């Protein structure tokens, strides 16, 4: 097992980024390594981190402004070679069809739920870490 998993968290709202960190904690599941969070508040920061590599999962805020997480998701899926899986935070369950358009791998609704969020993150981490091991 790797020493840490790296999770990129994109939101223009510091409270949303904090909700993500607090909901998943240092280890979203017992069978996974501890998580290191990389927080990004801008699209430019997201692209820079992804270009450097080593990201296991991206958590993108679909309600972020000016670059919403759905558009960011679609862009990185098109532009980043072997793009990490994306967990998209959506404002309403009815927005799930837009998440499909953006090619998100999973969705959870805002505010971040401390039960469903870590489960969704753990599922994506397991998939990514098993592929890369």
Is 58 in contact with 76 (CB distance < 8 Å)?
yes
Give domain 5-132's CATH architecture: 3-Layer(aba) Sandwich (3.40)
What is the 8-class DSSP label of residue 68?
Answer: -
Supply the mean pLDDT for the chain: 95
Average pLDDT over residues 20-43: 97
Count Cα neighbours of 42 within 13 Å in the Cβ-side half-sphere: 3
pLDDT digits (tens, 9 = 90+) for 53-109: 999 999 999 999 999 999 999 999 999 999 999 999 999 988 888 899 999 999 999
pTM: 0.96
- Percentage of residues of the chain with pLDDT beyond 90: 91
User: Distance between CA 131 and CA 89 in Å, rounded?
Assistant: 24
The proportion of the chain whose per-residue pLDDT surpasses 70, expressed as a percent, equals: 98
Q: Are 57 and 32 in contact (CB under 8 A)?
A: no
């Amino acid at each position: 097992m790797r020493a840490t998993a790296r999770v990129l968290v994109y939101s223009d709202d510091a409270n949303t980024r904090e909700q993500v960190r607090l909901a998943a904690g240092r280890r979203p599941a017992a069978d996974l390594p501890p998580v290191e969070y990389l927080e990004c508040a801008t699209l430019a920061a997201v692209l820079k981190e992804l270009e450097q590599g080593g990201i296991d999962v991206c958590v993108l805020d679909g309600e972020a402004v000016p670059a919403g997480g759905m558009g960011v998701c679609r862009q990185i899926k098109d532009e980043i070679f072997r793009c990490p899986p994306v967990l998209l935070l959506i404002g309403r369950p009815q927005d799930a069809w837009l998440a499909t358009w953006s090619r998100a791998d999973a969705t959870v609704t805002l505010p971040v739920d401390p039960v469903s969020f870590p489960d969704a993150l753990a599922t994506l981490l397991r998939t990514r870490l098993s592929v890369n091991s």
